Structure 1
Amino acid sequence: MKVLDEDTGVTIVENLKPAYSFTKRLKGLMFDKRMQPQSGVHIKPCTSVHTFFMKFPIDIIYVDKEMKVVGLEQSLEPGKIGKRFKNVHSVIELEVGRILDLGITVGQTIKIQQ
């Protein structure tokens, strides 16, 4: 699966892992040694995140039911609790620096492609 900017078609995440079951949502990226380049995790449903038991910082895209970006968090360090945003339905965790590198902004719409 991939994550794309719906307007430009730019690839945000090349290798997206779904985390839709309770077990996969609970585990997320915990205990992984690092995040692979161009990879990410889509956690759904999910309204907030934490980085307990993680070994590396991550960027987080918070989206609503229509996949519109409603919040962003850059470089959330291990052992922290993420911000809270209104209308969040799911989150995409991705490698640190990706939000800044791609200029992802609140209000843009993304899509997940199989």
Structure 2
Amino acid sequence: MRTWRDGEGTLTVGGDAGARRVPLRIAASYRTRTQGLLGQDGIEGALLLTPAGSVHTFRMRFAIDVAYLDRKFTVLAVRTMKPGRLGLPRLRSRHVVEAEAGAMERWGLRPGVRVELRAAGTSWGRPAL
């Protein structure tokens, strides 16, 4: 099993020809996961919370899209959450990706899509074919 660390990376959605690469912040420590996007007015790209099976938007300043990923980086569900909401836990979810509302639809991120995560020169997962 991979040990995640806080840092920067890239989220890749789609196959080689139509791949969409998105800047990614990785929140793996307890402290950075609990901070998440609190206190921010927006985000360029996306935030990966790992491990995570659910999220909340209490004290958030903007609506977000939330994608729940399984251990093979397949999207289980995508939800848009307004501030002040509590998301239901996803049983097989191991990772959560957050972005500004509407971003995931533009990227083509939807249930069943497999994504690739790249950090510090290493990649995990496979792009969808």
TM over 0.5: yes
Aligned AA for 1:91? V
SS at match of 1:105: coil
- 1:1-114 aligned within 5 A: 1-5=9-13, 7-8=15-16, 10-13=19-22, 15-36=23-44, 39-74=45-80, 76-114=81-119
* Deviation, structure 1 residue 77: 0.6
Q: What's the offset of the Cα at 1:23?
A: 0.2
Relative to the length of structure 1, the TM-score reads 0.87
Equivalent residue letter for 2:91: K
What amino acid is the match of 2:88? K
Q: CA deviation at 1:31?
A: 0.9
The SS at the match of 1:100 is: helix
Deviation at 1:82, TM superposition (A): 1.7
RMSD between aligned alpha carbons?
Answer: 1.6
Number of residues of Structure 1 aligned to a counterpart in Structure 2: 110
Amino acid at match of 1:19: A
Checking the alignment, whether the CA contact within 8 Å between 1:58 and 1:93 is kept in structure 2 is: yes
The amino acid of 1:2's aligned partner reads: T
TM-score normalised by the chain length of structure 2: 0.78
Change (3 A) 1:86 1:12: farther
* Residues in 1 aligned to 2:57 and 2:114: alpha-carbon distance in whole angstroms: 25
Q: Aligned partner of 2:49: which letter?
A: I
Q: Which structure has the bigger radius of gyration?
A: 2
Q: Which consecutive residues of structure 1, in runs of 5 or more, have no partner in the other structure?
A: none
